[in-house]
A and B are shown apart, each in its own frame.
Chain A
Amino acid sequence: MNYRNICAVPGMVLVITGISMLFPALWSLYYGDYDWPAFLWTGGVTVILGLTLYKVCGITGAFQAKEAFAAVVLSWVAAAGFGALPFLLSGTLPTFGSALFEAMSGFTTTGASVFSDVEILPHGVLFWRSFTHWLGGMGIIVLFVAVLSSLGVNALSMFKAESPGPVIEKITPRISATAKILWYIYIGMTIVLVVILYALGMPLFDSLCHAFGTVATGGFSIKNLSIGYYANPLIHWVIIAFMFLAGINFVLYYLALKGKDLRVFWKDGEFRLYARITLVFIAVIAVTLLWTTNYSSEAALRHAAFQVVSIMTTTGYATADFDLWTTTAKAMLVILMFVGGCAGSTSGSIKVGRMLILLKQGYLELQRVLHPRSVTQIRINGKAVRPELVMNVQQFFFIYVFIAAVSVTVMSALGLDPVSAFTAVAATLGNVGPGLAEVGPMRNYALVPEAGKYYLSFLMLAGRLELYTLLVLFLPSFWRK
């Protein structure tokens, strides 16, 4: 184990985190708020500490798989740990547990908040919350790989450890070039959304914050009513569209841009399933809304579409308090928390790509009951899927559900009622944000005890790094020579 490499990477990530704190400080100064010193102080300390770590350790040689795992996990913990400091220093959050929860929720693009009233917060803090989403969305390490391309770091292992989805492929031979392309698409999408929201009448500051939250599939809002605050239906529809776009595999955008051919989307099995699930859930929930509320058909469709897309892409914005909807609608939204967006997107949870493999294998297993001796493999996009990958995906599903189940008992031991405990776990592990009941869309996680906030922060990180990256650190053999 090369411990120098393991220190150097978090060092560099801390530099990036520290520099990013300059932006909230600027907004704070612009609005004449009181919180800019908190950002400048933390930013300064974080940058200096990061540079020292980076210089003292220095990257030597290529990364082993083990080192990549450790470096990535440490980087995220460091980013969230230092990212939590501005909340403490500005006096907006009283305890480190709460501040860590908020920062981890930001970086992992969860969007679960402990603030019961965000509208009284200074602009610097608001911007920082949304900005952590944006940094975490595409991945700090991916950013780091893109920036450090000239340093000749063998970064593929780290890249994979941070975004280990089942179908991540190198779109260019050089991993740093791939990272750059992904970030360009990400930045491009953000700019387009900011411009559209601004054009639709949202103030520039709000547009920026919500664009960050949407494209990163985060979910922090600067209004207590979330997107429901903006009465303009067009704003809702635009955000629905961009949440949906952010839930698509970013590699497809690259292929579509390169080939100037939109058909690549429909040729992708995962995208087809993603679109179909979205449509079916919207249709069913819209019908339940029409039956049980007095919404107009446009409003019913819009609210159904917004909530379905928001939960499925694990964004977590809301235009309505879906905790008041029928049990059926709520149960369907909870199921979506376990589906998530496409692999290679900024969303979290189990991901549609894995669901596709699981569903196909399910069909195959049934056929195998009929013809026990037939040897067949499932195919995705025309390519046969190896049994090892199938097992890996199935095992991911098991571990995901297993961790969720154990976590529900942990949360209920901390005093949460069953529905709150279950959805709090589903919403943090899946990086969604809001759950139901106590942690519903119009409530927050302030009620969760301090220990529970640490535990949920751990779940958010586990979910963001897709379990294995974090869990291997708990193997005793991981630390042996």
Chain B
Amino acid sequence: MNYRNIIAIMGVMLIIVGISMIFPAVWSLYYGEDDWSAFLLSSAITVSAGLLAHKATGLRGEVQHKEAIAVLTLSWIAASAFGSLPYLLTGTFVSFADAVFETISGFTTTGASVIPDVEIISHGVLFWRSLTLWLGGMGIIVLFVAVLSSLGVNTLQMFRAESPGAGAEKIKPRAGTTAKILWFTYVGLTVVEILILWALGMPLFDAFCHAFGVIGTGGFSTKNSGIAYFDNPLLHWAMILFMFLSGANFALHYQAFRGKDLRVFWKNGEFRLYAHLMLLFTVILTGVVLASSDYSFEAALRQAAFHVTAIMTTTGYAISDYDLWPYFGRSLLVLLMFIGSCSGSTGGSIKVGRLLILLKQFRLELQRAIHPRAIVNAKINGRSISSEMMINVQQFFFIYLSITAVSTVIISSWGIDLVSAFTAAAAIMSNVGTGLGLVGPMHTYDFLPAAGKYYLSFLMIVGRLELYAVLVLFLPSFWKK
């Protein structure tokens, strides 16, 4: 293990995080608030720490497989530690646990908050919160790879470790180029959404923050009541559309854009299942909402579509308190937390691609029960899946649920009820952010003790990096020569 490489790469990361702290300072100055200095100070500290780490160590040779994995988790932790500086220096939080929770929630695009009242928070801090979502969204590492590919480091390994999603397709052979393309698609979508939200009457500042939250599938809002504050159906529909787009594989967006051919989406098995599931859940939930409230059909459809997309893409925005829906509606939403979005998107959770593989194998196993000697492999998009891949995906499902189950027990030990504990574990692991009960859409995680906040922060990183990358760090053999 070459520790110098690890520290050097983390240094570059910190420089990027530090530079991005200048943007909230600009907004702060624009609004005439006095916390701009706190951002500039945080930026200066972070950038110098990054420069120091990078210069003192320096990259040597190729980044090895193990180092790439270690860098992932460690750089998220480092980014979050320094990313919490603005919260601490502006006095938004007094406790370090709160600041770390909020930052990790941002960088992992979870959107779970510990700020009980966001409307009294300064614009600079609000912007920083949303910016962390956006930065985390495509993965700081992808940005980082795009920047670093020019340094001639073997970045393909890094990219593999970052997006282990089942269907991650390489658009271009070089990871650096791939990352750049994905990043441009990402920026493009964000710009278009900012313009649309702005055109629909949202103030520019809010349009920025919410576009970051949507494209990053994060969920931080600048209002206490979330998107419900903006009482414009068109705006809700625009956000539904963009959440849906952010939950699709970004490689598909790029292919569709390059080939000027929208059929690439429909040719993709994962996208088809993603769209079908979303449609199915929206239809059922529209019925549930219509039956249990006096909404008009459009309003009921919008309620259902908004919350289905918000939860399935693991964004976590809300336009009403769905914790008041009938049990049936709520249980459907909890189910969605375990599905998540497409691989290669900014969303989290188990992912539709894995679900697709699991469902195909399900049918195959039943057939094998009748014809024990038949040897067939499941196929996705016409390509057959190897047994190693199948075992890996199925094992992911088991580990994911085991961690959720154990976490429910741990969270319940802080004295909260079963529904809240379970949905908190599910919402945090999947990077959705909002659950039911005490952690419902109109609540925050403020009530948890510091230990709880640290544990959930850890869980967010585990979920964001898709388990394996974090869990291997706990293998003793990982740290051996």
Contacts and interface: CB of A to CB of B under 8 A. Distances in A.
Interface of A: 65-66, 69, 326-328, 330-332, 334-335, 338, 358, 361-362, 365-370, 372, 387-388, 390-392, 394-395, 397-399, 401-402, 405, 408-409, 412-413, 415-419, 421, 436, 468-469, 471-472, 475, 477-478
Interface of B: 65-66, 69, 326-328, 330-332, 334-335, 338, 358, 361-363, 365-372, 387-388, 390-392, 394-395, 397-399, 401-402, 405-406, 408-409, 412-413, 415-419, 421-422, 436, 468-469, 471-472, 475, 477-478
Given A65-B370, A69-B369, A418-B331, A391 B418 contact: no
A280 to B, nearest CB: 12
A436 B412 CA distance: 15
Contacts of A358: 395, 398
A412 B370 contact: no
A417 B422 CA distance: 14
B187 to A, nearest CB: 31
Nearest to A398: B358
B419 A419 contact: yes
A409 B328 CA distance: 6
Contacts of A469: 369
Contacts of B65: 370, 372
Given A69-B369, A391-B390, A335 B331 contact: no
B66 to A, nearest CB: 6
B478 A412 contact: no
A38 B332 CA distance: 44
List 9 A-B pairs, minimum CB-CB distance, nearest first: A394-B394, A412-B327, A327-B412, A413-B328, A412-B331, A409-B331, A331-B409, A395-B365, A328-B413
Contacts of A402: 358, 362
Contacts of B394: 391, 394-395, 397-398
Contacts of B326: 412
Contacts of A372: 65
Given A328-B412, A362-B395, A398-B394, A468 B330 contact: no
Contacts of B371: 65
A472 B366 contact: yes
Given A330-B412, A408-B331, 19 more contacts: A328-B412, A331-B421, A362-B398, A365-B395, A366-B475, A369-B69, A370-B65, A370-B472, A370-B475, A394-B394, A395-B362, A398-B361, A405-B335, A408-B335, A409-B332, A418-B331, A421-B327, A472-B366, A475-B370
Contacts of A338: 405
Given A335-B409, A370-B66, A405 B395 contact: no
A432 to B, nearest CB: 16
Given A331-B418, A361-B391, A405-B335, A475 B327 contact: no
Nearest to B436: A418
Given A331-B408, A365-B468, A370-B66, A394 B397 contact: yes
A399 B362 contact: yes
A326 B471 CA distance: 30
A150 B468 CA distance: 55
A418 B330 contact: yes
16 contacts: A65-B370, A69-B370, A327-B416, A327-B421, A358-B395, A367-B475, A369-B469, A394-B391, A397-B394, A398-B361, A398-B397, A399-B362, A402-B358, A405-B335, A472-B370, A477-B367
A366 B471 contact: yes
Nearest to A418: B419
B367 A370 contact: no
B455 to A, nearest CB: 14
Contact of B401 (A401, A416, A471): A401
B369 A397 contact: no
Nearest to A375: B388
A interface, over-half SS:
helix
Contact of A366 (B358, B367, B472): B472
B417 A366 contact: no
Contacts of B418: 327, 330-331, 334, 419, 436
Nearest to B423: A418
Contacts of A326: 412
B399 A362 contact: yes
A412 B469 contact: no
A331 B412 contact: yes
A114 B476 CA distance: 51
A472 B372 CA distance: 13
A416 B327 CA distance: 7
A473 B366 CA distance: 9
A468 B395 CA distance: 20
A394 B477 contact: no
A391 B387 CA distance: 8
Given A66-B370, A394-B391, A409-B335, A369 B468 contact: yes
A362 B398 CA distance: 8
Contacts of B388: 368
A362 B392 CA distance: 9
B387 A387 contact: yes
B468 A397 contact: no
Contacts of B362: 395, 398-399, 402
Given A328-B409, A394-B397, A387 B391 contact: yes
B327 A417 contact: yes
A62 B399 CA distance: 42
A390 B481 CA distance: 30
Contact of B366 (A335, A365, A475): A475
A468 B366 contact: yes
A64 to B, nearest CB: 9
A288 B402 CA distance: 22
B68 to A, nearest CB: 11
Nearest to B407: A331
A394 B395 contact: yes
Contacts of B409: 328, 331-332, 335
A471 B366 contact: yes
Given A331-B408, A366-B475, A408-B331, A477 B395 contact: no
Contacts of B387: 387-388, 391
Which of B370, B406, B415, B422 has the most chain A CB atoms closer than 10 A to its own CB?
A: B370
A243 to B, nearest CB: 23
A333 to B, nearest CB: 10
B468 A366 contact: yes
Contacts of A334: 418
Contacts of A436: 418
Given A330-B418, A335-B409, A395 B392 contact: no
Contacts of A370: 65-66, 69, 472, 475, 477-478
Contact of A405 (B69, B338, B372): B338
Contacts of B421: 327, 331
Nearest to A363: B475
A367 B369 CA distance: 31
B294 to A, nearest CB: 20
A477 B370 contact: yes
Contacts of B475: 366-367, 370
Nearest to A335: B405
A394 B416 CA distance: 32
Contacts of A409: 328, 331-332, 335
Contacts of B436: 418
A425 B397 CA distance: 20
A338 B408 CA distance: 14
Nearest to A437: B418
A151 B334 CA distance: 53
Contacts of A387: 387, 391
B327 A415 contact: yes
A327 B338 CA distance: 22
Contacts of A412: 326-328, 330-331
A334 B366 CA distance: 28
Contacts of B69: 369-370
Nearest to B416: A327
Contacts of B469: 369
A361 B393 CA distance: 12
Nearest to B330: A418
Contacts of B406: 335
